[in-house]
Amino acid sequence: MSTNGAAGAADGGAVFSPGAGGLADGAPSIDPFVDIRGVSKWFGDLQVLDKISLDVPEHDVVCLIGASGSGKSTLLRCLNLLEHVEEGEIVVDGQRLTHERVDVNALRRKIGIVFQAYNLFPHMTVLQNVMLSPRKALGLSRNEAEERARPLLRRIGLEAKAGEYPDRLSGGQQQRVAIVRALAMQPKLMLLDEITSALDPQLVADVLDLVRELAESGMTMIVATHEMGFAREVADKVCFLDAGCILEEGPPQQIFGEPREQRTRQFLSRVLEGGRMA
Amino acid sequence: MHALHQVLHAFFNPHSYTLAMPDVWAGFQVNLRMMVIAEVLVLVLALGIAIVRGLPGPAAKPLRALAIGYADFFRGTPIIIVAFLVGFGLPGLQLGYISNRSFTTYGIIALTLVYTAYVTEVYRAGIESVHPSQRAAARSLGLSYMQAMRHVVVPQAVRRVIPPLLNDFIGLQKDTAIVSVIGVSEAALNAGQFSNRNGDFPSYVVAAVFFILITIPLARFTDHLVQQRERLERAQAF
């Protein structure tokens, strides 16, 4: 994992680039960057994931769409080991997440996740929020962590808010801070869990712009979203989840233009009525 | 008229106040010392036990059971009995250092044992009141369980439980009088001895006033914190 956050900050583009190093450097690897094989999960008797399999090549953006309760969030939480995977296998960057002796903390440092409810730490300032894990999990000094955090905040136009507490920020600002808080760990994979669902409509655009920028910088991302226009625009692949299964997957033009499955068509037409299709 | 005169004489004889004051004040300084030392110990120990009680996983099960047993025992036992057990029991063991402490020290130990059990529950409620998503966010950033507790969960929990914690401390401050039963020469004991000698009760009134003078400000301060938090939460709701 590179530690040249400050050097990279000189030009804007490098601020967001995914962490360097690892298997995927140099010659293109044959294995996909994220390899999900037959993952199943139950909450009690309720099966929430049903033999999910999915490949994500490095630098690709995969969007997960589907109704609430279809398993999008659970799948993302499994990828970050916030949920225990009961069956199947997940490999990220050549490392098997589902191995029982895996170093959970080390792995999570490479995989960032952003939640619907932002989950900023309310007792810390914006800057402290972004600096916490680089300092405590990566062992950076206060100065090193600040050199990493400030350019990120500058990039999202919130450096002036560095000393404010989260409750002084709008929802959109909080969510952008949550995104750069994850980026401060220089992850190689970002998981976004319906990050605009709790926002007022006029605040959504800023957050989506940031994600778009992230996608253009080559970050590998798996994004659960209800923003169909956004998914169509940034996704390399769209997966439609229904009752814990990936019912249909394909390039966005195909999924949104000519969905094969009846249930995908039903879902998309309901979303269209709801006005979520830009 | 006669009865009123008797009451005035027995409780409010000005001359007795002047006489009682030095004895009771000397005793009250012992109360103050016990309060401060016990409160610091309680704050630290209770947090440790609350964290142990919340440890996840089967490996921590014996530790959790120990913490639960401790809280159950000392919350269920009257403080006067704990005072007897410590104040008479430990010297009775004839174990050198721990059997040769002063009564004041045994009093502090008894108060600490009992109030740590109460405050453990207060901390635990605070830790559980922090939304699980905060812990998930901390863990997802690569922090370990203990790092997430230390930097994210506990600071928020402690802020929330300061009012109930101060309420327990009001109780602790008053209960420093109970440990007079093992012979700690504190305000209540000195007041009793003075009352026996003098045949009236102003010494008790003096002792009561001393306690009130420190508990009322603490009670008002606690109210103030509660109101401040309510205002803050109302402001955040908008």
For B162-178, how does the pLDDT look when each residue is reduced to its tens digit (9 = 90+)? 999 999 999 999 999 99
Q: Which of A100, A107, A128, A132 would you mutate first to test chain B, the one with the most B CBs within 10 A? A: A132
Pairwise CB contact (< 8 Å): B141 & A108: yes
- Percent of chain A residues past pLDDT 90, beyond the cut: 73
Higher per-residue confidence, A92 vs B2: A92
Q: Tokens 């440790």 — which residue?
A: B48
Q: How confident is the prediction for chain B on average, in pLDDT?
A: 91
Which is more confident, A10 or A218? A218
Of B134, B144, B159, the CB nearest to A105: B144
**B128-163 pLDDT tens trace:** 999 999 999 999 999 999 999 999 999 999 989 999
Smallest CA–CA distance, residue B116 to chain A, in Å, is 26
Kindly report the average pLDDT of chain A as a whole number.
Answer: 87
User: Which positions in chain A touch B236 (Cβ < 8 Å)?
Assistant: 167
Q: A275 falls in which pLDDT band (50, 70, 90)?
A: low
Share of chain A above pLDDT 70, in %: 88
Task: Give me the residue from B133, B136, B141 closest to A185, CB to CB.
Answer: B141
Mean pLDDT of B37-50: 96
Q: Do A182 and B141 touch (CB under 8 A)?
A: yes
Chain A positions in Cβ-Cβ contact with residue B133 (cut-off 8 Å):
115, 117, 119
Express each pLDDT in B188-204 by its tens digit: 999 999 999 988 889 99
Residue B134 touches partner A, C-beta closer than 8 Å: yes
Name the token pair of A187: 């992850």
Tell me if chain A has a CB within 8 Å of the CB of B133: yes
pLDDT exceeds 80 at position A61: yes
* Range of weakest confidence among A181-185, A263-267, A268-272, A273-277: A273-277
B83 pLDDT above the threshold of 80: yes
To the question of pTM greater than 0.80 for the whole model, the response is yes
pLDDT band at B42 (very low <50, low <70, confident <90, very high): very high
**What DSSP state is assigned to residue B150?**
I
* Coil, helix or strand at residue A40: strand
User: Which residues in A have their CB inside 8 Å of a CB on B?
Assistant: 80, 82, 105-106, 108-109, 111-113, 115, 117, 119-123, 132-133, 136-138, 167, 181-182, 185
CB A138 within 8 A of CB A185: yes
Looking up tokens 């005035």 gives B8
A171 Cβ contact partners less than 8 Å away, ≥ 6 residues apart: A118, A198, A199, A200, A203
Helix, strand, or coil (residue A111): strand
Chain position carrying tokens 């099960």: B61
- Put simply, the answer to whether B136 touches A115 (Cβ < 8 Å) is yes
Instruction: State the average pLDDT over residues A7-27.
Output: 49
User: A1-6 long-range contacts, Cβ below 8 Å, gap at least 24?
Assistant: A1/A109, A1/A110, A1/A138, A1/A186, A2/A186, A3/A140, A3/A144, A5/A144, A5/A147, A5/A148, A5/A151, A5/A184, A5/A186, A6/A144, A6/A147, A6/A148, A6/A151
Classify A41 as helix, strand or coil: strand
Per-residue pLDDT tens for A98-116? 888 888 888 899 999 999 9
pLDDT of residue B198: 87
At B57, the pLDDT band (50, 70, 90 cuts) reads confident
Asked if the Cβ–Cβ distance from B134 to A121 is below 8 Å, we say yes
Instruction: Please list every residue in chain B whose beta carbon sits closer than 8 Å to the beta carbon of residue A120.
Output: 137
Q: Where are the alpha helices (DSSP H) in A86-217?
A: 104-110, 126-136, 142-155, 171-183, 201-216
Distance in angstroms (rounded) separating the CA atoms of residues A120 and A114: 10
Segment among A19-23, A78-82, B96-100, B101-105 with least mean pLDDT: A19-23
Question: Given a cut of 60, is residue A227 above it in pLDDT?
Answer: yes
Q: Which residues of A touch B152 (CB under 8 A)?
A: 121, 132
Q: Which of B127, B129, B141, B150 to mutate to test the interface with A (most CBs of A within 10 A)?
A: B141
